[in-house]
Structure 1
Amino acid sequence: MDLLIDNFTHFLAVEKGLAANTLESYQRDLVMYVSYLRDQGIEQIEQTSRAHIVGYLMMLQEKGRATATLSRNMASIRAFYQFLVRDKYLDKDPSIHLETPKIEKRLPKVLTIDEVERLLEGPPLHHPAGIRDKAMLELLYATGIRVSELVNLNLGDVNLEMGFLKCMGKGSKERIIPLGKIAIEIVRQYMETGRPRLFKGKTETALFLNHLGKRISRQGFWKIIKKYAQQANIRTEITPHTLRHSFATHLLENGADLRSVQEMLGHADISTTQIYTHVTRTRIKDVYAKTHPRA
């Protein structure tokens, strides 16, 4: 079964052109599913049935996994079985007609403008890593790009003279995003004084480097944002996407149109962007309740 997973991920990479992070997600889900099957005494994929899939999902549910996790696992398993039938490894697909768990849409957590200001003021500018951290945080809030897109930026992806960056989003779709003056200034400072001190003389093209002179990882950035959030005494739950959510919400609160925000975020469907309109309405209600004398 392990070989079948390898064949499937190879198919996704070569024929579907999926990104590395997506491939890892599929593989992780399927390795867990196969491990469950082996615990049930199943060693051949031909032995699996609808009951095994349902049992696996119930096991995840009993462990307290979120609905989104169950839904993603169901999607991975369904795609796997479709591949197996298509390539004649199986005669029939046991995942057909299984319902995907409905995901409860939760409003994203966003920072107030004051919290963003405190977060962005945290990195010390007398140290190359501090300049890098400041540039990364400013760039995230200025553009709303995903953390994976941020750490994958190369030197040639940023044009400070013209004031824009280009990044490769989901589905290998490239988009161009404008940069504000503050982001341009700190990224220029990082490229002129911070990055040369982190660079170890190798042929590394990554924009943001770690202390070894290599491309900084998503996990590395996650530690960075958590550190500065704690320093800024921010009580809002911070995730790697918090600045992306805050970027979109603050734009809409200040009059940006939904289509422009959709394009900058790289959403294929505008319904995904519309979640931020709910956030702004909720925030307006909170402000009204706290400030109106007769609320």
Structure 2
Amino acid sequence: MHMANKVALVTGVGPGLGKAIAVTLAREGANVVICDVNETSLAEARQEVEAAGANCLAVRCDVSSSAEVTDMFAAAVEHFGSVHVLVNNAALTPNRPTDTERRNQLYAYLHTPMARDSLRFTSEISDEEWQRYWDVNVHGVFYCTREALRLMQPQRYGRIVNIASIAGISSRSAHSPHYSASKGAVIAFTRSVAMEVAGANIFVNAMAPGGVATPAFNEYLEQIGEAGRNRLWQGCPAGRFGTVDEYAATVRHLASDEHYLVGQVISPNGGSAI
């Protein structure tokens, strides 16, 4: 129970990594605030967090809205008194049909002998599509971090973990330049803020996961068949993606008092980027 008497706020707790992080922190003894834009997913996550033994406050919040983020933190303070740990997990990920087409095109290009040419991803991205990723993945991280620091600085304690991506440190997600750019921005923001606030005993770090074995991605693996999966694993020495519990364990460490990490980017990725 390393996080007893701590309050942890986790954004984006829909099916997948966010919910696993919230449950893991609950098992460590934290009181947990969770948020998501999908009320059904939010209710399911709350049940699992409470089943893990935590007091849980569930708030519907779109992190791309500064006003909604402010209201969420106010509710957290009213309910629990403060916030000690922030996990910025909420993000848009490239999972639309057009994203799947680009992903398949990139994997075929990387692992099949063929003539070299432009894959024409960036030139086909619309203004709206580009902006959507920045609104959630970058602006949302800023809004939540700003509110968290307003609580953490006076109490001279805090842990902030930003969920970035291998896409922000490598070309593994070249099929989604908008997503890659947003996660690269999260990494740069992490390092800057970490330098700023470490003297107040607020440690800010990022986790940049490789592929995450979420239900949605497991469905994709079924769709591409054995040959497609074999092509995919050519770029991952471990031959599989990480489970949500494996990634949540890394976040648990970064959210704890058991390290001396400031402004670091930890990338569990099965060897996809070494």
Class of the TM-score when normalised by the shorter of the 2 chains: under 0.3
Query: In proportion to residue count, which structure has more strand?
Result: 2
Higher relative contact order (CA 8 A, sep 6+): 2
TM-score, normalised with respect to structure 1: 0.22
TM-score for the superposition, normalised by structure 2: 0.24
Larger Rg: 1
